[in-house]
Amino acid sequence: MTVISTIKDSENLTLTLVADLDATPEQVWAVWEDPRTLERWWGPPTWPATFTRHDFVVGGESRYHMTGPDGETSRGYWQMQAIDKPNRIDFMNGLAGPDGEPAPDMPPMSGHVTFEARGAGTRMTAVSRFLDLAQMETMLGRGMAEGMGEAIGQIDKILATGPA
């Protein structure tokens, strides 16, 4: 079981996910740091993500888009606030406009991810913090919800084909 626990706080609008992964913190770090690897898990199977920029340094930014089944795209960005390899990542995650740049009228949500060595593996704790319900709806509404529950096929594909 990868996911050990989740805590949903509907008053403070936070989600905390704890997962134990069978890899070193450095290896887990790499799936966040390397954009080609990040693309293999960030988007749902039906909305795969493409990172066109990924400056994985403090103050750095990322640009990505997710492509839906009918070719429609949902654009987003990250702003890295803390990068402590291989221990901690703090970043803002927001939606971008058609030009791919941060949408000024939609404030980003924040993500706080920590990695701790546990035996031969790594405990990853990811905390997502939303400002309000409107933001939660918007972040989920653009293509994310649709792709849930379809991960199995993508996993098989990755295992079968090796490098993406």
Options 79, 134, 142, 153; binder of other proteins; rule CB under 8 A: 134
154 touches other proteins (CB under 8 A): yes
111: Cβ–Cβ under 8 A, 6 or more apart, which residues? 89, 90, 91, 92, 93, 126, 127, 128, 129
Query: By CB under 8 A, which span of 60-68, 73-81, 96-104, 136-144 interacts with other proteins?
Result: 136-144
- Tokens 């887990």 locate to 28
The Cβ of residue 55 has, within 10 Å, a number of other Cβ atoms equal to 15
66 binds other proteins (CB under 8 A): no
13 scored as a contact of other proteins (CB under 8 A): yes
Q: What is the DSSP string of 74-100?
A: EEEEEEEEEEETTTEEEEEEEEB-TTS
At its nearest, how many Å lie between other proteins and the CB of residue 96?
18
Distance in Å, CB of 100 to other proteins, minimum: 20
Euclidean distance between the first and the last CA atom of the chain, given in angstroms as a whole number: 25
Number of residues that bind other proteins (CB under 8 A): 55
Tokens of 50: 């493409």
Residues that bind other proteins (CB under 8 A): 2-3, 6, 8-13, 15, 17, 19, 21-24, 26-31, 33-37, 40-42, 44, 124, 126, 128, 131-134, 136-137, 139-141, 144-146, 148-149, 151, 154-155, 158-159, 162-163
